[in-house]
A and B are shown apart, each in its own frame.
Chain A
Amino acid sequence: MRDWRLEIENILTMTTTTLSRQTGAALWRNVALPILAILAALLVGALMLAISGFDVAAAYSALWSGIFGNARNLGEAMLRATPLILIGAGIAIAFRCGIWNIGAEGQFYMGAAAGAFIGLTASDLPAWLSIPMALLAGALCGGLWAAIAGWLKVRLGLNEVVTTIMLNYIAIGIVGYLVTGPMQEASRYNPQTDEIAAGMVLPRLFSGMRVHAGFLLALIVPVLAAILLFRTPRGFALRAVGFNPEAAQHAGINVNRQYMLAIGLSGAAAGLAGAVEVLGVIGRLYENISPGYGFTGIAVSLLAANHPVGTIFSGLLFGALTTGAELMQLTAKIPSAMTFILQGLIIAFLVSFRAMQGRVWRRG
């Protein structure tokens, strides 16, 4: 007779060791490697500053106090992080499904245009109705814009990397047309719309800070995205397609439908970010409304290992880097373009470290 208690004990120890090994590996991959990448990027940045003849200590202490110096700076970092988190959480869904949506920039523009349109026309409605309408319109337009690339991929087999990049420039052109044509301000002076109705401006979270209610959305949307991805059958199907589309097809998953859903949702998140930016910060639509949020959003998602909840942290980090770099420019006279260098380096180091780790494991 087999000793069943021993059996169970064996199974239990086995599962706990695999579990702890897995969480250890996940911790290493998702927390330790990003921190290493950030440190490596700061180190290279320091070398660059030193070579260019800047005072590295002054630069980085300005960067630090630009982020943590006072509550106001933190609020500003939250403000800057809001569009990045929303876009990043959406991109995480697309990348998990294996569809390369490089078009968040254009989706952001379309969402901003839709949000501004409602903001200008629905001023007679009560705010509890008009604000959600504007946000929904933004998400819808962003999602539909992304769906064009999705449709071109699943129906006609066109590479989404190229089509989403093309759609970015088309969207930017359309917004340029809108703000110099049909939606231009009444005075017809600048390439911008009039200001949206005052009642539709998103409320601020703290007095004296610009961070607005949109930041709450940036906390909610990633959680919803994570629940979808990791806690629902639909999310399982999305990730299965991302792992191996052919195997997913054989398992009876409709691959094309997952692609459409993933890119549509990711576009909706970027469109929502556009509407939030218009209602929360800018108050109107104008040409070149985004300083490359769509592209930084890609980096935000990657730094978070394409985990939607992780984008809250990586988005805050990138938002903080932006505000910190502004103080660095003010006090240490260092060009704020340094932010982009640091962001790029973080991603470059991170993908390198992950690839190296993969190699070591394959060899072992």
Chain B
Amino acid sequence: MEWIIGLQALLQATVRMAAPLTFTAVGETYGERAGVINIGLEGLMLIGAVVAYAVAFASGNIWLGVLAAGLAAMVFGMLFGVVTITLGANQIVAGAALNLVGLGLSSFIYRAFFGTVTDRAIQPLEAVKIPLLSQIPVLGPVLFEQNMLVYMALLLAPLAAWVLNRTMLGLAIRSVGEHPKATATAGLSVIGLRYGAVAFGALLAGVGGAYLSVAYANQFVENMVAGRGFIALAIVVFGRWSPLGALWASLLFGFTFALQLRLQAANIQIAYQFLQILPYVATIVAMILLRGQSAQPKALGIPYTERA
């Protein structure tokens, strides 16, 4: 029976590790479906992580921290929008700048305001057992004995998929990433839709970052996002630009993280670096296997101007 408990713990950790990736990747899926690629997710997540931690620390309320993190990241997402959507600057370049600003700003805020604070712990976000469902063997603890943010991530993906695929708003977002001129001809605002999608994506990246500090580590550590923003970018591709695909890909990446930590903890003599690089190799392999039937939005990365 011991292996079942081990498996259960492994899967529980998988879901826990996948949640921040799900938030960020679902948000970025919206942005990219609207035609805007934001490689600055890492920076946005860092801003979310530090703001959530600082606000939760000061107010004693974790949810206030999560909200502030989302809003702060959204502000930076809007600034990114001004540069890339309104001014039409190159999105890769602006995203690289956003990463630098996010990395610097998060460390700056933390050092400037918490440099002298010694007791930096915050109340962790506790797991909420869902009655009955959490009694199911293995699956119960894995899916129904997590914190609220994990539930939100799990529900977000199907909801986002429904909006994107089944509503007029979703249709408008998809069309603006495929053929912005046609969208404009139909009387919709290309600029407005893109701002909306980018702001939504940034908000979710902020929540993803907040998850790391207030729901996972219960503290802020400099550069704690540790590449997850870039992984989210890969997840969007891996998930073929669909919110549900992003959820599955997040779970896969979460699984490799969880497995790697367990093997390291169990001191098993496998070079853990090979597990570390597994998700990145898997992404490239998946891209190779799925090539040709590309789901990439046609107008991705191309600034829109009314004239052209």
Contacts and interface: CB of A to CB of B under 8 A. Distances in A.
A156 B296 contact: no
Nearest to B40: A344
B168 interface: no
B111 interface: yes
A354 B99 contact: no
A352 B98 CA distance: 13
B45 to A, nearest CB: 15
A352 B93 CA distance: 10
A203 to B, nearest CB: 33
A311 interface: no
A161 B39 contact: yes
Interface stretch (A77-85, A257-265, A292-300): A292-300
A159 B284 CA distance: 10
Interface in B250-308: 271, 273-274, 276-277, 280-281, 283-284, 287-288, 291-292, 294, 296, 305, 307
B67 interface: no
Contacts of A345: 97, 101
Contacts of B98: 344, 348
Interface residues of B, number: 53
B87 interface: yes
A351 to B, nearest CB: 4
Contacts, number: 156
A339 B237 CA distance: 32
A335 B291 contact: no
A149 to B, nearest CB: 9
11 contacts: A54-B112, A169-B277, A173-B277, A174-B277, A176-B273, A292-B103, A296-B100, A340-B105, A351-B93, A355-B87, A359-B88
A317 to B, nearest CB: 14
A338 B112 CA distance: 11
A347 B97 contact: yes
B100 A343 contact: yes
A352 B288 contact: no
Interface in A325-364: 334-335, 337-345, 347-348, 351-352, 354-356, 358-359, 362
Interface stretch (B192-200, B227-235, B240-248): B227-235
Contacts of B101: 340-341, 344-345, 348
Given A174-B273, A341-B101, A342-B104, 12 more contacts: A52-B113, A152-B284, A159-B296, A165-B234, A177-B271, A334-B112, A335-B108, A340-B103, A343-B100, A348-B97, A348-B101, A352-B89
A68 interface: no
Contact of A158 (B93, B102, B291): B291
B83 A157 contact: no
B111 to A, nearest CB: 4
Interface in A151-189: 152, 156-159, 161-163, 165-170, 173-174, 176-177, 180-181
B-side binding surface: helix, strand, loop or mixed? Answer: helix
Contacts of B111: 335, 337
Q: Which of A174, A344, A355 lies at the interface centre, i.e. has the most chain B CB atoms within 10 A of its CB?
A: A344
A162 B227 CA distance: 13
B221 interface: no
A356 B87 contact: yes
Contact of B274 (A177, A292, A358): A177
A100 B90 CA distance: 11
B96 interface: yes
Interface in B66-104: 79, 82-83, 87-90, 92-94, 96-104
A298 to B, nearest CB: 5
Nearest to B276: A173
Q: Which 8 A-B pairs give the minimum distances between C-beta atoms?
A: A340-B104, A344-B100, A337-B107, A344-B101, A341-B104, A173-B277, A335-B111, A355-B87
A302 interface: yes
B96 A299 contact: yes
B274 A173 contact: yes
Contact of A355 (B43, B89, B292): B89
Nearest to B296: A159
Contact of A162 (B106, B273, B283): B283
B230 A359 contact: no
A351 B97 contact: yes
Contacts of A170: 277, 280-281
Given A162-B283, A355-B87, A102 B273 contact: no
